[in-house]
Chain A
Amino acid sequence: MLESYLGAGIMMLMAIGIAGGMVVMTSMLGPKREFADKMEPFECGESPIVSPHQRFSVKFYLVAVLFVLFDIEAVFFFPWAILFKQLGMFGFIEMLLFILILGVGLLYVWKRGGLDWE
């Protein structure tokens, strides 16, 4: 059972090697000529005045919360989908109710304007 994950483990080690190797290589190869203007953040030629870490739109936060809600509900579908043929009618009606609840939730967010970007 765990043997099948060995391949994935080897792949992970290899990926760490490749990704790490590239970052180290590009830092070692190549010239290093630093001066003050070059070290400034890119701002189309201007010097940045304010910090970039300002407050951002609440919409991004809202989308993240909605994603957590809906994705956790979607995760419940996975075990159901695998066993669906064995569960038969019972599983279908149970999941029908679940999809309806999910749909009502989506409709509610929709009507409250949670999905609108202005």
Chain B
Amino acid sequence: MIDDAIEFLEPYTYLIIGSVKALVIAGALLGIVPLLVWLERRLMGRFQVRLGPNRVGPFGLGQPISDSIKLLFKESIIQGSADKFLFHLAPAIVVFTAIVTFAVIPFGDPITVMDQEIGLWAANVDIGLLFVFAISGMGIYGMVLAGFSSNNKYSLMGGLRSSAQMISYELTLGLAALSVIVLTGSLSLIDMVNSQDSYPNILIQPLAFLLFFIAGVAETNRAPFDLPEAEQELVAGFHTEYTGMKFAMFFMGEYINMVTMSALVTLLFLGGWNSYGIPVWPIIAFAGKVGFLLCVFIWLRSTYPRIRYDRLMTFGWKVLVPLSLLNLLVTSVFVVL
């Protein structure tokens, strides 16, 4: 009976493994979001010498869960003059791109279960880094469409700002990653980690690491680059008109993008799951580095004030782009010699 079943399923092994992996990764991502919200609120509390949420469940861990249940049962108000189709489409695009980007992120060496080699990633594509840039670049559509379809001045301004900001910093993101590609000679994220088995790239590419991380913070619209949703001037910008779960979906997208960006920085510059002599499981080493970077994201938010919009754009174009070009030049000089 069981043999028959196994024999019948044999040709579909690849499909089944792929589906299970995608299910686990998507589930983990959706689970990480409330955890990260909780972590951010607790840490922000500590940074501001207060307690943060601590009433619901142990250490306030139930707070994000009860928040998401509340948001799910809130009324979904669609403002009268809004473009209904685009209004619904925008948050879906944000969540979709955030989850799909994570498909090519590897988080460990392949493991063997029941004579099947299972890679710890949803998809191992040779152009991993390009895939990440391509899909995450599509996330801009979500914000622009949200701002446009809301038919609200503040939302439109937020959408415009976010599009200008994200395309400006995407340039730096790509150019900073290029120096790592020059060193590795591959776009595959797994090759990049394997090439760092003796020392992490941050030691030889500190400037590229800094540029990539700054551009990453700007790409995820996190403080101090959270201009698109500046509360004081734009009353939350592109998601002013959104309520309930659709409002929460923008935050889900933002937090998943934070995890993806931290994972990318880890893979490109911090040596991925290499632990350099410290006896921990590879996956723990990877999770530890990602977790540390996530704390840095929150740390930045509680340390720096929001920067002015003209400063943001001139900083991107006049400082980061020339620096990343220079870094690429210096890197290629050292590689060719």
B81 and A88 contact, CB distance less than 8 A: no
Q: Considering residues A23, A29, A59, A95, which has the most beta carbons from chain B within 10 angstroms of its beta carbon?
A: A23
Query: What are some 19 contacts across the A-B interface (CB < 8 A)?
Result: A6-B123, A8-B125, A11-B100, A18-B26, A18-B96, A22-B91, A22-B95, A26-B74, A30-B72, A30-B244, A39-B80, A40-B79, A41-B153, A42-B241, A63-B168, A82-B185, A85-B335, A115-B313, A115-B317
Contact B92 A23 (CB under 8 A): yes
A52 to B171, CA, bound (A): 30
CA distance A16 to B167 in the complex (A): 25
> Is the beta-carbon distance between B332 and A3 smaller than 8 angstroms?
no
Nearest CB to that of B186 among chain A residues? Answer: A82
B92 and A92: CB pair below 8 A?
A: no
Query: Are the C-beta atoms of A60 and B160 separated by less than 8 Å?
Result: yes
Task: State whether A71 touches B170 (Cβ < 8 A).
Answer: yes
Consensus secondary structure, chain B interface = helix
Give me the interface of B with A, judged by CB distance under 8 Å: 14-15, 18-19, 21-23, 25-26, 30, 72-77, 79-82, 88, 91-93, 95-96, 99-100, 102-104, 121-126, 130-131, 150-156, 160, 163-164, 167-168, 170-171, 174-175, 178, 181-182, 185-187, 235, 240-241, 244-246, 249, 309-310, 313-314, 317-318, 321-322, 325, 328-329, 332-333, 335-336
Report chain B residues within 8 Å CB of A26: 72, 74, 76, 244-246
Max chain A Cβ within 10 angstroms of own Cβ: one of B153, B175, B240, B314 = B153
Give min CB distance, A44 to chain B, whole Å. Answer: 7
The contact of B153 among A48, A74, A77, by CB within 8 Å, is A48
Known: A60-B164, A71-B174, A102-B325. A89 touches B336 (CB 8 A): yes
Interchain CB contact under 8 A, A63 and B19: no
Chain B proximity of A51: nearest CB distance (Å): 8
Chain A residues near B82 (CB-CB < 8 A): 41
Interface readout for A90-118 with B: 1 if CB under 8 Å, 0 if not?
Answer: 00100110010011001000100001111
B175–A74 CB distance below 8 A: yes
Q: A6-B14, A78-B130 are in contact. Are A15 and B100 (CB under 8 A)?
A: yes
Please name all residues of chain A whose beta carbon is closer than 8 Å to the beta carbon of B152 when the two chains form the complex.
41-43, 48, 52
Give Cα A52 to B167, complex, Å. 23
Q: Are B156 and A52 in contact (CB under 8 A)?
A: yes
Contact B75 A32 (CB under 8 A): yes
Contacts of A20 in B (CB 8 A): 92
Query: 1/0 contact trace for A70-86 toward B, CB 8 Å?
Result: 11001001100111110
Q: Complex formed: what's the CA distance from A23 to B185 in Å?
A: 42
Note all chain A residues with C-beta closer than 8 A to B73: 29-30
| Cβ–Cβ < 8 Å partners of B246 in chain A | 22-23, 26
| Nearest B residue to A66, CB-CB | B317
